[in-house]
A and B are shown apart, each in its own frame.
Chain A
């Protein structure tokens, strides 16, 4: 095959794949709003995505805040702006690090589990069995997972922001010896609720990406245990990259709103 037709084949394949993903996702979203409503499945997934991810999100958040306090001190200390450590780091946490790091951690835990679980159901005919019992497998399996991720990621992100802020404040005021008065005054002055809401909104979009890609990869898995492994890897890699790419575009779209207020 010559290089041009190879590129063409790759592009056609990618477009077709994206089209199938879009159709799948539309079916899953429609499945969230139409009956039957399987609240038990939704709550179970919310518990899995939310509660069970809380500990890793809290640990990641606390240490991210703490290490950024140290690094920012290293830079800001050179020109006597140590009082700005708190506001700088908390802005970075709420606007960027919270949603992105929460999503990447959850992606590793939840996106991979969704792809592996649904992929195993696919290759062991459990999805065909659902269909044979007149149950829509996309609505039964994908809709609650996507719905739960859209709902729970912002809450996890808020928890990350909170412990991150506590972490940076503890290290700045207790370890590095920054004067707490100006530290908290500047933080209050610089950080707006909109920063937190914007971050939570982003993480909700990331939750949608993680769950929809994980479920799609699971549904399209084929070829036994190896195929499930491949589906899982592809889900995690694709979601991780997609989160970072989409993050940039959401940030660019959201940015004018926060510039206006200043």
Chain B
């Protein structure tokens, strides 16, 4: 089991007096889409940052292929980061560059490629999200959905093993949300060996794409299971969140 997943063990993080993560235990299965749901401000983004090595946990372990990356030094952590790709909430494309240059950026920074090879890699990544003809455009000429696709292409271009999405559908209309869900699903299906981890509080999206769902509440995982399990659970707090009700164990 431990070979087939990223395993988070008793992960803790505090900022001053505020405990953000109070011992997160979670298995993220390799080759699947795992969605972590939870209310805003429950430490979901902090979890992503710790996973990417952008932030250090105070306590606990992250086991990837049996190695505990929380013990790694800065240089090793940099190597770990290269195995991850991240799609930001608002895409976070560089607006000083064209779409092509955005996708080429990680390659230019980390791999010494001939210009022709580089173009082939970038165009392949753009093609996988259906943006080949838009490479020459400026970022601000793209629609919200196209930006998201460009961000996925940029995150994929170095062929990472793990792809992280930070609230990919927040602020999008329902049709665009369905489009991004489809993008996450098709990216997963067309990239062998890829492991996707999606942070979300969008229930409809979660049920559509998730192979596995975990719910984070008050800094700990209170539910793990399939999308089907999620709909049939008896857990009061989870039910309240899934159904979006005001009354229940979770208070504002």
A: residues with CB less than 8 A from B are 36, 117, 120-121, 124-126, 128-129, 131-135
Contacts and interface: CB of A to CB of B under 8 A. Distances in A.
B84 interface: yes
Given A132-B52, A133-B81, A134-B110, 8 more contacts: A121-B94, A125-B89, A129-B94, A132-B54, A132-B85, A133-B106, A134-B78, A134-B109
B90 A132 contact: no
Contacts of B82: 134
Contacts of A124: 90, 92, 95
- Looking at chain B's contact residues, the main secondary structure is mixed
B24 interface: no
A128 B109 contact: no
Contacts of B84: 132
A129 B81 contact: no
- Looking at chain A's contact residues, the main secondary structure is helix
Interface size class of B (residues with CB under 8 A): 20 to 34
Interface in B197-233: none
B184 interface: no
Given A134-B82, A134-B110, A128 B88 contact: yes
B37 interface: no
B11 to A, nearest CB: 19
A132 B162 CA distance: 12
A132 B86 CA distance: 7
Nearest to A44: B96
Nearest to A38: B109
Interface string B157-184: 0000000000000000000000000000
A126 B54 contact: no
Interface in B43-97: 52, 54, 78, 81-82, 84-86, 88-90, 92-96
Contacts of A120: 95
B241 interface: no
B109 A133 contact: yes
A168 B106 CA distance: 53
B54 A128 contact: yes
Given A134-B110, A135-B109, A129 B78 contact: no
